Chains A and B, each alone.
Chain A
Amino acid sequence: MEGRKRNEPGHIVAPLQAQESSWASLEFAAQVAKALEVELQGLLLEDEEAFAAASLPFTKAISFQSGAVRNFDIVGLEAAYRASASRAKARVSTIGVQHAVACSFSVLNRFGKQTSSSSSDVLESSTALLVIDRRQIEQWRRQSNRKWLLGVAPIYLVCNPVSTKQTRIRLLYEGKRETLAAAAKISTSLSFTLEVLTLADNRDTLDRRLRQARDWIRRRQIKAKVSGLLTDDREWLHKVTNMTDDDIVLFDRTDLLSSLVG
């Protein structure tokens, strides 16, 4: 981690929910952390709306496994989250050992406070790379209290960790070389192909960015396909969203992420 350039990802954040489905994205995040030689940080998110619902006198919880109905209250929910946090923490630790990466774990509680973090506030850091499971985005989009997660990190990596066809990283490039470097490292380390889709709202900028990207890639002898797309018409977003589910998408424009998933 020595000699890291400014704005390069300094740690990988893997947001976790109290569900088994989170483990796949955690596993993938560990691979990314290993590729970039940075720390992996697991972040368990407490759902504030769940607590609001548990405060209502008549709400019930229906078991995922059996469909059994039981009381749904704050005390029970807190206990369930504590249990989830314990499991998630153990899991993060295990995955860290398996992939030989430094790791930490923290909980973002319903009041928006981060607990038990071993480093600075992960989401306020300017060097976080947030690994998001594409399936989580769908949920977060529906739940307003998590939408904010989609706009706080400087770099996002959207993946579909359960897909067996994940073999390509697509970078939506808008001129930040640190993001380009991160994408190159990840693709090389995981033996994925790299495609750089350069975006600009005018031809001059697009050409300049294309040149920069190609030069950078050529100098480092990286195999990558570089293409450009003007964002001056209405069709560009449609073209971008046509990317397949199996692609890993890396980009640094949060508005673009919102647009893509919203």
Chain B
Amino acid sequence: MQDTTRLEVGKLRWHCDPDQLGFESSDELDAIEKIDGTRRWSEALKFGVSMRRAGYNIFAIGPQGIGKHHITRHLVEDRAKAEPIPEDWCYVYNFSDPHKPNALRLPAKRGRAFKNDVEHLIADLKEVVVATFEGEDYRSRRQMIEQEISDHQESTMSEIEKEASSQSLMLLKTPMGFAFAPVADGEVIQPQDFQKLPAEEQRAIEQKIETLQEKLQKILQQVPLWMRQVQQRVRDLNRETASFAVTGLFDGLLQDYGDLPEIPEHLGTLKADIIANVDGILQMPDKVPGDDDQQASQTPLLRRYGVNLIVDNAENQHAPVIYEDNPTYDRLLGKVEHRSEMGTLVTDFHLIRPGAIHAANQGYLLIDAQRLLSRPMAYEGLKQTLRSGTIRIESLADHYGLVSTTSLEPKPIPHNVKIVLLGERMLYYLLSAYDPEFGELFKVVADFDSEILRDQKSLGQYSRLIAGLAQKADIKPLDKTGMARLLEHSARLADDSSKLTMHAETLREILVEADYWSDAAKRKSVVAADIDKAVEKRDYRVDRIREQTQEHILNQVITIETDSKSVGQLNGLSVIGIGDFSFGRPSRITARVRLGSGDVVDIEREAKLGGPLHSKGVLILSGFLGSRFCVDYPLSLSASLVFEQSYGGVDGDSASAGELIALMSAIADLPLRQAYAITGSVDQGGRVQAIGGVNQKIEGFFDICRKRRLSGEQGVLIPASNKRHLMLRHDVVEAVEAGKFHIYAIETVDQGIELLSGLPAGSRDATGAFPAGSFNAAVADKLKSFADARRKFGAPGHQAGETQGK
């Protein structure tokens, strides 16, 4: 049995022969940045970017660090290069509803020219208007109007003055207003002189003054009306003059942009507004010297004539590909900023800031899904934009009613942007499960493989990919031994000797560190030893917990037996993960049995240290025992299973094969060899199934054995289906080669029993009985005796005390 399950050295690790690679150094290779192929994700991405229909946005999924951002971007950029440059967009003042700035669309590259042309118009505006209004023609026409009213006022007042004078009265202009006073000898009569006048004369004077006052009052009441008439005539004149002044400025613009549908209309309203507000333009202060911020220094009147170009494709040669690194709501969809003015926050359309989606319109926008979901409202905002087909800039604060500052509602801009979300698979599955809209908006999933199958073709491409990584990281080339060793490590990272990992980031890190060690050794290329050292040192840096754990075992703080025999006890194996680093650790599994009603107690679960998968594994044991041994009588035992000295959580069913054998050992009261450790899950039929982390588990037990001295008896039992995953360390392989350590690949629990107990497992014969002296026979006998005892306990008149007495 041992000979058939023991693995040969050649099965323990894939060895990459440097001489078979076909090159001496990586710099001979034609470096590539991605591995081509008709893989699922590649097809999906190509389909997604080509499909320009609503909802066909892409979710590229795959583990972190495999380079999906880079590959996706590369592919999308290739596609974008063949697509036209999108249109430019700008926001302008809405003269009929200033609260809702208008969006204007211009053909690609014409937006910047339009903005500049309008700015030139604004810069020239005051000069042209002032020059026209200072012209002789305007001034004389205005003076005529003002003179007319002035003459009218003068003559009216003059008449009143004359009339007053004819009645020996004087019209005085005082700070309190006009006043009439009687005069004598050209001067106002003093009060004492007035008192000396006869009463009748005094009354007559008063009467005359009263009459004149009424007359003057009526005239003065007319003055505002005259003023209004003058103002109206001056306004009319101003409009006419302004129209004449600015028409020339607009003619050129209309000629240049008249072919565009929305621009002439906007220019028309702009011109009308300038004419209507020419007084304001004339009263504007001159530009403050040294003030470089032209826009900020402009008066509100001039600011509203400007153009806020939010999408400028002047420098682009094709459809844009934008990657938004920080996809907050504002950065994605744009925002309206405010500035402080005299202690209050104000805004206008110039403070509308575009988001990434504006820049990516008619192109592609790549977003990291996890970042998107972690930014408040960003995902909701993006979905709303995709649903509506328009980009609407709304402040988050407005959404929540957090601010009362006046803001704007810019007119929405239609979009045709392809969104490419990049994230881990779990995110995709969660969104698919919990967001009903997600499937409608992201119809294409591109699932990145985290590893590729190792064959001759892929090895060649993979070597070129590594050469590309080396070039990009600006490190020395790898010689063939370095490349071979990195390929081997790639297989180990893939946890499968028949595959290679696609985790480009990890490979890049190893390359960079190997380059460092190569420098330290003064080598001109990276060789196998540098890769080994890089991997070893990487492990060493995070190795403290492993070392401490092994130290506890070696010091027998944690009890792990590696050379004796024990009943109901064996060495299980678990994997402990610390960040990116994981290592195997042996654990002592013990089982105890007694008469009972068929319960197998998972102590880990009872202590709330066991996860559901572990509990499932334990429950399977009852199924196995019942079906194998207790077909026609009840399973009448109580058993307890525990990972001794385990103080953290335990999950997974990879120990269930070990637990079953430990339990059967306890039932049969037969000892198991502690020189072995076992890993593997088991089904109800006793078949041993594959588990994860097989390399780390074997190495974890090997390290303990080696440090205690390899006896040549020690070894690890693994599921046969894990053989393909073996990529063991060289020292393990060497120990196996020297016959100091053994790896067994078992398919059934019985194979494990035979290795661990040294006894034949035994199969039922034609009568249904296990052969005498076999391990299974001992188990069956004990279970039968439990069942009998239990039956006796259930018999009428039986007393508990009687049983104890016997």
Q: CB within 8 Å of B: which residues of A? A: 17-19, 47, 49-50, 52-70, 72, 76-77, 80-81, 83-84, 139, 142-145, 164
Check A80–B182 contact: CB distance below 8 A: no
Check A52–B188 contact: CB distance below 8 A: yes
List B contacts of A72 (CB < 8 A): 174, 176-177, 179
Q: CB within 8 Å of A: which residues of B? A: 139, 143, 161, 170, 172-182, 186-191, 194, 205-206, 209, 213, 216-221, 223-224
Check B221–A67 contact: CB distance below 8 A: yes
Check B178–A64 contact: CB distance below 8 A: yes
Contacts A52-B188, A66-B220, A164-B139 hold; do A60 and B181 have CB atoms under 8 A apart? no
List A contacts of B175 (CB < 8 A): 18, 77, 80-81, 83-84
Which of A50, A69, A143 touches B217 (beta carbons < 8 Å)?
A69
Check B174–A56 contact: CB distance below 8 A: no
User: Separation in Å of the A245 CB from the closest CB of chain B?
Assistant: 12
Q: Which residue of B lies closest to A19 (CB)?
A: B173
Check B177–A59 contact: CB distance below 8 A: no
List A contacts of B173 (CB < 8 A): 17, 19, 139
User: Separation in Å of the B563 CB from the closest CB of chain A?
Assistant: 103
List A contacts of B143 (CB < 8 A): 164
Q: Give Cα A106–Cα B507 distance, bound, in whole angstroms.
A: 90
9 cross-chain CB contacts under 8 A: A49-B188, A52-B189, A61-B174, A61-B176, A67-B217, A72-B176, A72-B177, A81-B175, A142-B161
Contacts A63-B220, A144-B186 hold; do A56 and B194 have CB atoms under 8 A apart? yes
Check A55–B220 contact: CB distance below 8 A: no
Q: Give Cα A220–Cα B237 distance, bound, in whole angstroms.
A: 46
Q: Give Cα A17–Cα B191 distance, bound, in whole angstroms.
A: 25
Check A61–B179 contact: CB distance below 8 A: yes
User: Separation in Å of the B421 CB from the closest CB of chain A?
Assistant: 63
Which of B139, B176, B180 touches A80 (beta carbons < 8 Å)?
B176
Check A49–B170 contact: CB distance below 8 A: yes
User: Separation in Å of the A18 CB from the closest CB of chain B?
Assistant: 4
Check B179–A62 contact: CB distance below 8 A: yes
Which of B176, B180, B181 touches A77 (beta carbons < 8 Å)?
B176
Check B177–A63 contact: CB distance below 8 A: yes
List B contacts of A142 (CB < 8 A): 161
List A contacts of B188 (CB < 8 A): 49, 52-53
Check A53–B181 contact: CB distance below 8 A: yes
Q: Which residue of B lies closest to A76 (CB)?
A: B176
Q: Give Cα A145–Cα B190 distance, bound, in whole angstroms.
A: 14
**Those 6 A-B pairs whose CB atoms lie nearest each other, nearest first:** A67-B220, A53-B181, A80-B175, A18-B175, A61-B176, A52-B188
List B contacts of A80 (CB < 8 A): 174-176
Check B206–A58 contact: CB distance below 8 A: yes
List B contacts of A53 (CB < 8 A): 170, 172, 174, 179-181, 188
Which of B178, B182, B194, B206 touches A62 (beta carbons < 8 Å)?
B178
Check B178–A61 contact: CB distance below 8 A: yes
User: Separation in Å of the B652 CB from the closest CB of chain A?
Assistant: 86
User: Separation in Å of the B188 CB from the closest CB of chain A?
Assistant: 4
Check B181–A61 contact: CB distance below 8 A: no
User: Separation in Å of the B205 CB from the closest CB of chain A?
Assistant: 8
Contacts A49-B181, A69-B213, A164-B139 hold; do A55 and B191 have CB atoms under 8 A apart? yes
Q: Which residue of A lies closest to B182 (CB)?
A: A56
Check A54–B221 contact: CB distance below 8 A: no
Check A52–B190 contact: CB distance below 8 A: yes
Check A64–B139 contact: CB distance below 8 A: no
List B contacts of A61 (CB < 8 A): 174, 176-179
User: Separation in Å of the A84 CB from the closest CB of chain B?
Assistant: 5
User: Separation in Å of the A179 CB from the closest CB of chain B?
Assistant: 32
List A contacts of B217 (CB < 8 A): 62, 67-69
User: Separation in Å of the A221 CB from the closest CB of chain B?
Assistant: 30
Check B172–A62 contact: CB distance below 8 A: no
Q: Which residue of A lies closest to B142 (CB)?
A: A164
Q: Give Cα A47–Cα B182 distance, bound, in whole angstroms.
A: 16
List A contacts of B224 (CB < 8 A): 65
Q: Which residue of B lies closest to A85 (CB)?
A: B175
User: Separation in Å of the B130 CB from the closest CB of chain A?
Assistant: 13
Check A64–B220 contact: CB distance below 8 A: yes
List A contacts of B182 (CB < 8 A): 56
Check B176–A49 contact: CB distance below 8 A: no
User: Separation in Å of the B300 CB from the closest CB of chain A?
Assistant: 25
User: Separation in Å of the B169 CB from the closest CB of chain A?
Assistant: 10
Q: Which residue of A lies closest to B221 (CB)?
A: A67
Q: Give Cα A66–Cα B222 distance, bound, in whole angstroms.
A: 9
Check A54–B179 contact: CB distance below 8 A: yes
Extra inter-chain contacts (20) besides given A53-B172, A65-B224, A67-B220, CB under 8 Å:
A18-B174, A49-B172, A49-B181, A49-B188, A50-B179, A52-B191, A56-B182, A57-B191, A58-B205, A58-B209, A59-B179, A59-B209, A61-B174, A61-B177, A62-B178, A63-B177, A67-B217, A67-B218, A72-B179, A80-B175
